[in-house]
Amino acid sequence: MTKGYQIIELADLDSLVSNASCEHVSVVMLDWLVSQLKKELGEKMTRAQIEVVPVDYHGFYPAIGVHYLGSDSADLEPDIQRAATKILRSTNVADLVLGIAALTNSTSDRLAQLKGLGKSGG
């Protein structure tokens, strides 16, 4: 069974994510950002799962997806938008590079995984 996701697109990353030649960078940046959002939002994330998901609309692009674990879960988009903006605008480049380097998946494998999910619908 496939999960349903609320798709969250961030204005601060739009020019990166919408550029097909930056797919690898987009996926890595969003994977890093999701890991930071989980820390930043803490207990608010107990009723939802957040991850990078493939969007297939006029071509592939990665986005943040929120899967709510109950129908009574509060909408997290405003909190995620605020936290993401804070993280993106306050993280220095050295911390960003170290955080991205700590990710365990290779970018090629991760990109292939996302594109495969997008084609299979789930």
Whole-number pLDDT of residue 117: 66
Q: pTM for this one?
A: 0.84
Question: Which letter does DSSP use for residue 70 in this model?
Answer: S
Question: Which letter does DSSP use for residue 73 in this model?
Answer: P
User: Minimal CA–CA distance to 3: which of 64, 62, 66, 83?
Assistant: 66
- The reply to whether 1 falls in a domain is no
Average pLDDT of the chain to the nearest whole number: 86
Query: The domain containing residue 45 runs over which residues?
Result: 6-120
Report how far residue 82's alpha carbon sits from residue 55's, in angstroms, rounded to the nearest whole number: 22
The predicted model gives 9-34 an average pLDDT of 90
| Residue 15, both tokens | 């020019």
pLDDT tens column, 37-76: 999 999 988 889 999 999 988 888 999 999 999 888 889 9
The predicted model gives 21-41 an average pLDDT of 91
- The reply to whether 77 falls in a domain is yes
Report how far residue 77's alpha carbon sits from residue 105's, in angstroms, rounded to the nearest whole number: 26
Report how far residue 33's alpha carbon sits from residue 69's, in angstroms, rounded to the nearest whole number: 21
- The reply to whether 52 falls in a domain is yes
Considering its fold, how many domains does the chain have in total? 1
